């Protein structure tokens, strides 16, 4: 009887051998935790389409950050939910030095000076139309260059308030270069830019738009976010962002776009980030609540897939949960 000469199972024979040969290891330092902040006090309100995920008032978000720091997380990405009186067509309020975002950045950096504080840059939370840019009402179009000026003002006001990094998520052409230039000429040359480079027009953002009350009032975001049918275009977007001065490149959503994560990890030497978005979180939670999937296992598998594909940095609503799991299950994780 002929025996196989090559027994791949030898490297899988025991937990310890598997751990020895594992190529992909999750660590708390890999994660950026997104945080939703609303105005007021004593608020922790669960987002219905994101079970187990909450919007916090500023006082409570500080407690939440302490919990994140305690499990080893070192960076957060801030989003604010703005009331209707803060919304217009030009995002005027987005660069208000006393706005909720600016107050939040100051309070968070005061209490956690080492924490890497990143902020989302796009007009949608401040737009009466729920769009990421300024709308030409007559044409029903999103105006690229005027939007860039608003985004530059917004980004400057965030770094002036103490943000370490900005993360432009709007997909306007040329915004990375404009923000980099504004940082360089206004005394903020050391601030980072995490570019949402390959950001697709995805159905997976629904729960996030519930969380921030930011769904588009008319139309969709397909004239600025990318077409899911395109792959090379994502590489092109990322190349441009890198040339314009981005420090990190992001693919978003995550799970359905691992080809892009893999492509960018080869085409660029910048760190690649991936965003496991609200709909990905919602799907995992919903199936787990029904008992159809094992939540811990599917959470871990989904996150490992990102790193295996080539991402270094992972933005996920599971950030705290996975870190707790990693800590509690060491060395089995």
Contact residues toward ligand PBG (CB under 6 A) are 120, 122, 124, 132, 169-170, 205, 208-209, 221, 277-278
Burial of 252 (0-12, 13-18, 19+ CB in 10 A): buried
Q: Shortest approach of ligand PBG to residue 6 CB, angstroms? A: 43
Nearer to ligand PBG, 28 or 133 (CB): 133
Q: What is the rounded CA–CA span in Å between residue 18 and residue 97? A: 52
In what helix (H) or strand (E) does residue 209 lie, and over which residues does it extend?
helix 206-212
CA distances from 199 to 36, 39, 55, 171 (A): 20, 28, 24, 7
Q: Shortest approach of ligand PBG to residue 210 CB, angstroms? A: 10
By beta carbon distance, the residue nearest ligand PBG is 208
Q: Shortest approach of ligand PBG to residue 292 CB, angstroms? A: 22
Burial of 292 (0-12, 13-18, 19+ CB in 10 A): exposed
Q: Shortest approach of ligand PBG to residue 198 CB, angstroms? A: 13
Nearer to ligand PBG, 209 or 312 (CB): 209
Annotated active-site residue 199? The verdict is: yes
> Of 86, 87, 221, 252, which residue is the catalytic one?
252
Nearer to ligand PBG, 73 or 226 (CB): 226
Q: What is the rounded CA–CA span in Å between residue 115 and residue 33? A: 11
Q: What is the rounded CA–CA span in Å between residue 16 and residue 7? A: 17
Nearer to ligand PBG, 46 or 70 (CB): 46
> Of 87, 191, 199, 320, which residue is the catalytic one?
199
Burial of 69 (0-12, 13-18, 19+ CB in 10 A): middle
Nearer to ligand PBG, 120 or 242 (CB): 120
Annotated active-site residue 139? The verdict is: no
Q: Shortest approach of ligand PBG to residue 134 CB, angstroms? A: 14
Please report the beta strands in the chain, taking only residues with DSSP state E, as ranges in sequence order. 31-38, 44-47, 50-57, 75-81, 116-121, 134-136, 141-143, 165-168, 192-199, 248-252, 272-276, 313-316
Considering only CA atoms, give the Rg of the chain: 20
Catalytic residues: 199, 252
């Amino acid at each position: 009887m002929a025996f196989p000469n090559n027994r791949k199972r030898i490297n899988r024979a025991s937990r310890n051998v598997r751990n020895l040969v594992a190529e992909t290891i999750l660590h708390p330092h890999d994660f950026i935790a997104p945080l939703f902040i609303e105005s007021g006090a004593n608020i922790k309100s669960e987002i219905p389409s994101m079970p187990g995920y909450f919007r916090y008032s500023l006082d409570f978000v500080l407690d939440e950050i302490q919990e994140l720091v305690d499990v080893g997380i070192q960076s957060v990405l801030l989003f604010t939910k703005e009331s209707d009186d803060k919304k217009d067509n030009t995002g005027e309020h987005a660069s208000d030095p006393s706005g909720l975002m600016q107050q939040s950045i100051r309070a968070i950096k005061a209490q956690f000076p080492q924490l890497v504080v990143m902020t989302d840059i796009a007009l949608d939370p401040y737009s009466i139309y729920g769009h990421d840019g300024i709308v030409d009402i007559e044409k029903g179009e999103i105006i690229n260059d005027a939007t860039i000026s608003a985004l530059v003002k917004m980004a400057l006001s965030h770094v002036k308030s103490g943000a370490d990094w900005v993360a432009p998520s709007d997909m306007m052409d040329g915004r990375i270069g404009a923000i980099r230039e504004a940082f360089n000429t206004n005394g903020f040359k050391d601030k980072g830019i995490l570019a949402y480079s390959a950001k697709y027009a995805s159905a997976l953002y629904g729960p996030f738009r519930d969380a921030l009350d930011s769904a588009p009032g008319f139309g969709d975001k397909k004239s600025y976010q990318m077409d899911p049918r395109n792959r090379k275009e994502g590489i092109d977007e990322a190349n441009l962002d890198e040339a314009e001065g981005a420090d990190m490149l992001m693919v978003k959503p995550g799970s359905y776009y691992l080809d892009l994560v893999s492509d960018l990890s080869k085409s660029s030497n910048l760190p690649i980030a991936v965003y496991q978005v609200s709909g990905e979180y919602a799907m995992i939670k919903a199936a787990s609540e029904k008992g159809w999937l094992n939540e811990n296992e599917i959470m871990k598998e989904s996150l490992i897939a990102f790193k295996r594909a080539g991402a270094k940095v992972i933005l996920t609503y599971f950030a705290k949960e996975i870190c707790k799991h990693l800590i509690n299950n060491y060395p089995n994780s």
